Structure formats: structure tokens, C-alpha cells
Structure 1
Amino acid sequence: MASTQIVQLQSLKPDLHERAWVSIPHPSLPLIATAHGKNVTVFSLSTLSFHSALTDGHARSIRSVAWKPALPPHELCLISGSFDSSAGVWRWNKSSGEDDGDGLGQDMSRGPAGDETAKAGEWDYNLVLEGHDSEVKCCAFNPSGNYLATCSRDKSIWIWEDIASSESEDDWETIAVLNEHEGDVKAVAWCPDVPGRNSVGQRYYSVDVLASASYDNTARIWREDSDGEWVCVAVLQGHEGTVWGVEWEPKPRDNRFPRLMTFSADETIRVWTLEQGEDNADGDGSAMSQGLGGIPSTMRRSFREQWNCTAVLPKVHDKDVYSATWSAESGLIASTGSDGVIALYKEDEAAPSDPPAVSADKDSDGNASLSHNSSAAGGPQWQLLTTVPSAHGPYEINHITWCRRYDAGSTKRGEEEMLVTTGDDGLVQSWRIDVTSS
């Protein structure tokens, strides 16, 4: 029988002295960016130390960051979403001698001769994306990097398209503003580019799929239809509090469409599965009558997708679940939040490939509510492996993510995984997962 432990490694020594919101690893390089105050600090995952800083861009705190994917190794572009209602576009201004990605993962606080003031490069604040009426809560790129989604306290989601003629330039155009949520939009996430992603709605939609989470207790699924209109194709209802975030399954089983994970102020984590058939989309304009709700009648047509809650993970947290992350390598899920607990879950390998939905019960007011069991009978089974209480002492943990290890302590550099947590104490803490047989 195997035993699992979450073992503390070292902090990234950020010395931030203020609340840190998120830490986002670069998709291919050994870098991770942390948002705190009005700044973003980039750390090297090779040295677990300071790499560079993005400063003097925003008038208020930066809440979220996103790395632009699919760039050459020597190009870096980062988006910052701020409480000042704007998103900023930053570009790494490499030195003339830096012609590959090898140096980007090193400690850039010192020059070749050890001079602390000699930088190998610096960040340029190239462009401000304006339009939101209130705080920008989250920003995210689609897999190809040509679309950026931002969401805000103003209840809207904006989708921007990169129309620049070259990778080193910045020219962005707003292509959609989505206003169907009835509360602040807390998070957005694009479906990863994985097998099975294009198997649904090919006649109606582009390949990109966006999920959003809101104060209105719902998550929503969005697609671009054949007329170039972004439409809400599903409203995921069942949470009894703010949905703090959404995370897509990074590596689905059997080439099926990725599942979606949602986590909430109701202390639960739910997994949603798209009901797939020959044609899951309704093209008869009857989405309003199907209970989607919130979709304007002015839309020329709407297509409905059926998403079922197929699992509720074992109850661990006794306060808001602020963040959860799904590993592409192991399939494990880790979560954290207001109670400062880190929890680790594993799905039963024998789980059916097409599980039934979690059944809904009626509460005392006659409203439908989903069971808090770990799964429905016959559905995917999730088990709690281990927990770490007070992982950041008395402080709340705002974010958790899986991240590849590149440091000297890694046995398989660039392949082995670790967890990184970011908290109100300003620390960016790394953790390894130990599995032992007994």
C-alpha cells in the first residue's frame, strides 16, 4: 500500500513583504511570474531565485498574469491584469548578446562579472489594453496565443485578438465583449490543445473553447460560432457560492473532450463532463427554453451543450477553495484556499470513461442541489491522498499550480513535477510529492 506526502522544499525567496496573488509558470521555459502589489516578479526555476521584475506599469495592484505561448525561446511576452481596470502588455528586451533561451532561466540580477546593477535584459511596458470599467481579475491566452481573454468586476469578459504583423510587435483588437454573467467574473481559462478538443460542434464552432467563473455561483462555457459570434453554450449550475475559478483537464483519457474543474466559496470542488453524442449542439434556437438562462434573445441562434457534474471531490476544506490545479503528468488534483490547507486527490484508474451525472436532490426550499459525495454511484471515484494544514502559517493561500522542476535537487530536470503555492504572507513556496510503499 502506497503512502503519499507533500514535502516542503524551499521558498523562492521573493522577499515581497506584501500579499502575493498568483504565480504562473512559463509554458516551456524555467521561469515563473508572481503578481504582488503593483509589480510582477519573475523567478528562475533553475536557481529558485530572482530573475527580473516588471515595475512602473500599473497605477494599482496587479491581480493576474499570463505568459504568451508559442513564441521563439528568446522572446518573452507577459500580460498583467490590474485593479486599475487595464491589462498591460510587457515584452522582454533582450540584450544584443542573448540569442537563445538558455540565459532566460538564469539569475538575471547579476551581470557576467557579478555586477548586481548590470542586467542581461529588461522588461518594456509596450501597450495598455483598456475597456473594462472595473478591476481586471484574470487574463488568459488560448493555446495558439492569438486570443487573449480578460475578465472583470464589471461582470464582463473581453476577448482580444493579436493582429500584429510580427511577434515582436503589439497590435490588439477587441473582437468580443461577453456580458451574460450576473456577477463579477473571477476567472477565465481556455481549453488546452489536446486530442478530442475538436470532436464536438465542428460544424458550428471554431476550435477554441473558453470557460469562466463568477460571483453569480455559475461557470459558463463559450465558443465562437460559424458567424464569428461568441456565444454561451452552457451554464454550469450547482455551486452554492462564488465560483472562484475554473481549470481544464490537461490530459483527457481515451481522447475524450477535456473535463472542467470548478472550485467555490461553498467549500467544494466539482468536475464537469461534456455529454458527447453524434451532435451535441442544438441548432433550433431553443436554447432559451432549455434553461440556459442569461443568453440574450437578440442572438441570431444559440447552440446548447449538456455538461454534467460527474464528481464532487471529497470534502476537505472548511472555508473558500480559492485555487485548484490538475496535473497533466500524474492526473492528480491539488487544492488550497482560505483555510491555508493544501489537499491532494487521486482519481480511481478504474473509473468509467463515460460516467453518469451526479444526481440532484431537493433542499428545504425545493431547489435542486448536488450531493457533496466524492462521486455518483458508478461515476468516477476520487480519493483524498493527503493534506498539509497551515501550509503558509496563519495566512490564506491564494493560488496553487503544478510546475516542472529545473533546480539542482531535481532527479529529472524539466520532467519532474512540484507544486507551487502563493499566499497572503508574500511567499512563493515549492513542494514535492513523495510516494512510498509500505
Structure 2
Amino acid sequence: MKIRPVILCGGAGTRLWPKAKKHQAKQFIDFGNWTLLGKTLERVKASIYDAPIISTNAKYLKQVKQHLKKHKIRKFKIVLEPAKRNTAPAILSTALIKDIPNEQPLMFLAADHLIEKVALFNKAIKKNQKKLTHNNIFIFGIKPTIPSSEFGYFLTKNTKVTRFIEKPKAAKAKQIISKKGYWNSGMFYLRKDSIIDNFKKYQPNIYRNCNKAVTKAKYKSNVYYLNKQAFTKATAKSFDYAILEKTKDINAIKLDIPWSDLGSWKEICKMYGRNKRHYYKKKNVFHRPWGSYVNLFNGKEFLIKELYVKPKGILSLQKHHHRAEHWVVTHGKPKITLNKKYFTMKPDETIFIPLGAIHRIENPYKKPVKIIEAQVGSILKETDIVRFQDVYGRVK
């Protein structure tokens, strides 16, 4: 039996646009002729998979259909949530649709994760298929590259998961990594009957209402429109809290592959830094008295640059009216002014420059400084620079 991939595609992506009234959901952002949902759809074309099921909501239905068409996926099912109820009801509702047999292996994927080394990922899925039973659950752990406070972790004994730790502080994350803890990727692998058994046992309210929502769903053109009256009665809970923290039979599939949920501008900057050769164009290089910069990608209300600050180079003390900036240092040790603070940064460190903050980069050393910068805002032009001091005489 082939594995049925279920793509959870309901996230709003508000972490990237905290103050914006209208913002793009992360899975649909064009990062340079590709989107995270597009990459996920390409991933499930592998021979181990059956036709995908996409769980989303009415707001995103048009974009999901456009993506399916663009990636030439003709066989699919869409399960449409009538209201936001977090991941537990979303996961259960997709599993309950009637064309999925009871023993069907289901692989739950987030629409907004970037996974590299896909062959290794799919190999691990296939390898563990025979271990699936009517009540166990497999989750995917990613070997941490840094002690990040942006991800949840889990600890294991052999392959059994013994403990979950939700987004710890960096010092605690270091301890977890020293105990061989893994990032919790939020991807789940289990059979349909295991989902049903676990929900019946631990979340009868969610099971009862989701079952009703699916039974009374309207089905048209490959789309299940879940019954709103029943679905909204289901308790809003994440799958982690609803099931994973209650059930005992959780196994880990540990992966050492590049993975990111691109959930912060820091992660996005790093992704462009790793892949800058794909985005680099000589015509987008601009020289300045302090060094140079290259525009790597101009997206919708964001612009990614790489700054090169030569030894002894100093940018002007400046602010912006229309944009905030996120910087990730990739080379050298820049001295930074941020309002009334003055400090040195090191490679892999990151800083946020809020809209209207007075700031400057200096390089007093003999080695050049390189910074990947994400500008986020409504106007992303060089005209949006208000200079206060400048050693090159550019203050009028």
C-alpha cells in the first residue's frame, strides 16, 4: 500500500509580518520562482506516495488549486476547514474521509517547511512503514545545527520519545542538545486506525464533532466542504497537546538533513545566504564608498541584499520611514550602532532594526564584513534613507 501524504496548508504566517493588517501566508510567498507549498507538492511526487490530500481553508482554496495546476498534480483531494481549530481537528478530519482505508499509512507534512536531501527523507519514511501499527505514532526529529529557541525539542530512549520540550531558551536548548535532543519538526507518520484510536481515547469531543463534520460534508470537484456547525464544536487544540503529550507509543525517526520552517527573517536570510549563487546577478551589484551591496531577490514587500563592508568602511548613521531590517552577519565583526547602543557582532549573529531606529554599520578591522539583510516594508528604495552623519560627505 502506498503512503498517502496529507499537506497541512492553513497557517497564516503572522510571525513574519507581526504588524501588517494584510500579509502573505508563508507557504505562498514567492522566494524566487518557487514557494514552500510548491516544493512540498514536488516532494510528494515520489513513487512511494499516493495522491495528496491538502487540508486548508476557504481563504486559500484558489491559491492551493493554482499550485496544484502549476505542479501538474491532477489526482488530489482538498479538505476545507470552515473555521480555525488548530492542527488536531485538521489532522483528524483529513484522516476520516471515506476513501482512505483503515490501515492506510498517512504522512502529515506542513506546507511551509523547506526540506533538502529529499531522497534521504523519503527513504526514512519507506523504511519505517512496516513498523506502523493501529495505535503507534512516528514523529520526525531533525538533528539541531544550533541551540535555537525557535523550535520545540524532544528526547528519546533508543527510538522511543520520552519527553517534549516546547521552545526553550538558548541555555536550556544547549543542555537538551547535549542529551542528544532533536528538533521536533512537526511532521507525523501513522496509520488511519491509529489516528482514530488515539482521538477516541484521548479527545472524544474532537473525534465526535470532526466525524460529524466529515459525515455531513458537501463534496464537489475533489473538495470536501466540512460541516461548519459540527466542526466549530470541536475543541481547538494542537495535535501535540491533544495527542502526543498523552499517548505513550511515540517513536522517533531521526534525520540529519537541512530543514527549516523559514519561520523568521533570520532563517530566510540564512537560506538566501546558503543559496546566493542562484540569486546573484552582476547587474544587481551596486558600489558605495564603504564597499558594495547586491540585491539578491526583490519579493512582495521584502528585499534581500548582501552587504559587503570593506576594511575601515563606515555606512552613514541613518534611519528609514518605511522599512524595518533584519541582519544576519555571515563574515567579519561589524560594530553596530542601534539608537543609543553601540556593540560588536560576530558571524551567525542576528539583529532586528525596527522602523524609525537610528543605526549604522562600521568595519574597523582588516577583514571585510558581510551581512545578509532582509528589508521588510511598503517602500524598499534607496530614497528611504535619512542620513544624520556620514564620513563620505553625503549629509546635506
TM-score (norm 1): 0.26
Q: Which has the higher strand share?
A: 1
Over alpha carbons, which structure has the higher Rg? 2
TM-score (norm 2): 0.28
Q: Which has the higher helix share?
A: 2
